[in-house]
Chain A
């Protein structure tokens, strides 16, 4: 395949919709364990750490530790939901079940399939983020109605991490490969992006690293919104997330082309 063809910008159309609908139909059959897996884990962590550690720490940045942590967990739960779908689930459809091969025999292109998976993983991430927002709101830790503005931010976080996950998926030799990404990229990102403690507490050099991470920008939008504040700086954070989403999707398309159409 020529470099021109390999690097060509993806041509997008609504043909990705049946791919999304296929995944939706599967999900409907397995919804309960999926919801539990996506929600129970962050909620247990949130309530355990939020109340437990919160009792020791008192307040953080002028709010309760629970409220501080809750905003961080909206970001990280969204990130993990997008990641698991675009890594493990997409990989089994691409490589193990050969679902993508079947779809590519129909009048869909590889771009359509990757776009469908991207939209689907972002949808699952959006659902996970919204569930977290609902729980936090129900417990009175979110400022309504401004918390509603966190929903598009959650979608952006989902699109960014779904795109990054599909990029890693295109490079994976097997499920074990994902451990590198989860352990070496996402876990440090969770520590550096202000989920558990304010980024301002970090040494200057580490803080500089934190500010290029997509999760940092996601939480920088969600946390003030839940506290009832809105600012123009949020647009800058949203732009970084959008850049991760768009460039990540492009990288995913190119690398998947390299993997599957040679």
Chain B
């Protein structure tokens, strides 16, 4: 038995002629927060479903918490929590009923679940809301309830499919803080996201997926250091086209999306110097981040 919390080798999955997952290897150590990043359609959700044993791979081996998947997926899922991409809470139930009913699917007794509810609701910032009807909750509250529901069986690993999509910044920050406290408790987290900021803040290690394949792997720092120049200058304005021609000599990498030019360099002083006095050009100077790595590796084209 391997010591990894999750290990997958050579995963492949196609839908007709479309290869959604094309030979993916993953190893997640216990207690780490691991990120699956990729544009829409990169295969993130499909990989999660494969790891949970909900769909069958054409090829590859999966071991989740020491259990071979899909053969013993059910046993593995007993020790796993899942926060799905789309809300599937029970709209007919109160907050507490959602937790009790879900806990019963794990074979837990109502009495034992009820004993856990105050702590779960406290954790989710829903204390005192046990009897609230679901339609009275905001989007952020529902998301937190989904997170609490995923913890009802005290899992050792939690899968999260885009946990903060559609949330406002306050709600997002609260979720991030809660996820950090889970890793501090020693739980393993596997999350998919296309928010680079989220991955950068939470993940100790991540892979970037594109068209079903891993295109980069490492810690956020290592990826930024290894794949991209340290500084970025974003420029836009009416005469940006003429300026861009000159910029190509000032920075090793210059890219354009629509009306905005991105200059990447270890030292952007020459770029900044050429912009001074150009009152019609607006520019932003910032350190490179994971999003820049992501866009460099997966391209700037739309993916839907």
CA distance A49 to B161 in the complex (A): 56
Q: Which of A69-77, A102-110, A164-172, A199-207 contacts B (4 or more CB under 8 A)?
A: A102-110
The answer to whether A261 and B56 touch across the interface, beta carbons within 8 angstroms, is yes
Tell me the B residues contacting A by CB distance below 8 Å: 15, 52, 54-56, 74-75, 77-78, 80, 82, 84, 86, 88-93, 97, 101-102, 104-107, 153
The answer to whether B74 and A109 touch across the interface, beta carbons within 8 angstroms, is yes
Complex contacts, B52 vs chain A, CB 8 Å: 105
CA distance A98 to B161 in the complex (A): 15
CA distance A22 to B99 in the complex (A): 11
Chain A, 87-118, contact with B by CB distance < 8 Å: what is the 0/1 string? 00000000001110111111111000000000
Q: Which residue of A lies closest to B97 (CB)?
A: A25
Complex contacts, A98 vs chain B, CB 8 Å: 84, 86, 88
A-B contact pairs, 19 of them (CB 8 A): A5-B56, A18-B101, A18-B104, A19-B105, A21-B104, A26-B92, A97-B91, A99-B90, A101-B84, A101-B88, A102-B89, A103-B105, A105-B82, A105-B84, A107-B78, A108-B74, A108-B105, A261-B54, A262-B55
Which of A1, A29, A102, A107 makes the CB contact (< 8 A) with B75?
A107
Residue from A5, A19, A105 whose CB has the most chain B CB atoms within 10 Å: A105
Q: Dominant SS at the B interface?
A: loop
CA distance A261 to B50 in the complex (A): 10
Which of B15, B54, B56 makes the CB contact (< 8 A) with A104?
B54
Q: Which residue of B lies closest to A29 (CB)?
A: B92
CA distance A25 to B84 in the complex (A): 23
CA distance A261 to B153 in the complex (A): 24
Q: Dominant SS at the A interface?
A: helix
Min distance, Cβ B15 to any Cβ of chain A, angstroms: 8
19 more A-B residue pairs beyond the given contacts A22-B90, A99-B88, A261-B54, with a C-beta to C-beta distance below 8 A? A15-B107, A22-B104, A25-B97, A26-B90, A29-B92, A97-B88, A101-B88, A102-B84, A104-B54, A105-B84, A106-B78, A106-B106, A107-B105, A107-B106, A107-B107, A108-B74, A108-B105, A261-B55, A262-B55
Interface residues contributed by chain A, number (CB under 8 Å): 25
Tell me the A residues contacting B by CB distance below 8 Å: 1, 5, 15, 18-19, 21-22, 25-26, 29-30, 97-99, 101-109, 261-262
Q: Which residue of A lies closest to B105 (CB)?
A: A106
CA distance A26 to B101 in the complex (A): 11
Q: Which residue of B lies closest to A5 (CB)?
A: B56
Complex contacts, B74 vs chain A, CB 8 Å: 107-109
Q: Which residue of A lies closest to B86 (CB)?
A: A98
Min distance, Cβ B121 to any Cβ of chain A, angstroms: 19
Residue from B91, B105, B107 whose CB has the most chain A CB atoms within 10 Å: B105
Complex contacts, B55 vs chain A, CB 8 Å: 261-262
Complex contacts, B75 vs chain A, CB 8 Å: 107
Complex contacts, A29 vs chain B, CB 8 Å: 92
Q: Which residue of A lies closest to B54 (CB)?
A: A104
CA distance A101 to B89 in the complex (A): 10
Min distance, Cβ A119 to any Cβ of chain B, angstroms: 15
Complex contacts, A25 vs chain B, CB 8 Å: 93, 97, 101
Min distance, Cβ A170 to any Cβ of chain B, angstroms: 16
Which of A106, A109, A261 makes the CB contact (< 8 A) with B102?
A106
Give me the 3 closest cross-chain CB pairs, A-B, nearest first: A106-B105, A98-B88, A105-B82
Residue from B15, B106, B107 whose CB has the most chain A CB atoms within 10 Å: B107
Q: A97-B91, A104-B54, A107-B74 in contact; A22/B86 too (CB < 8 A)? A: no
The answer to whether A22 and B77 touch across the interface, beta carbons within 8 angstroms, is no
Complex contacts, B153 vs chain A, CB 8 Å: 106
Min distance, Cβ A109 to any Cβ of chain B, angstroms: 6
CA distance A21 to B90 in the complex (A): 13
Which of B15, B77, B88, B106 makes the CB contact (< 8 A) with A102?
B88
The answer to whether B102 and A102 touch across the interface, beta carbons within 8 angstroms, is yes
Complex contacts, B101 vs chain A, CB 8 Å: 18, 21-22, 25
Min distance, Cβ A214 to any Cβ of chain B, angstroms: 31
CA distance A173 to B84 in the complex (A): 23
The answer to whether A97 and B82 touch across the interface, beta carbons within 8 angstroms, is no
Q: A22-B90, A99-B90 in contact; A107/B77 too (CB < 8 A)? A: yes
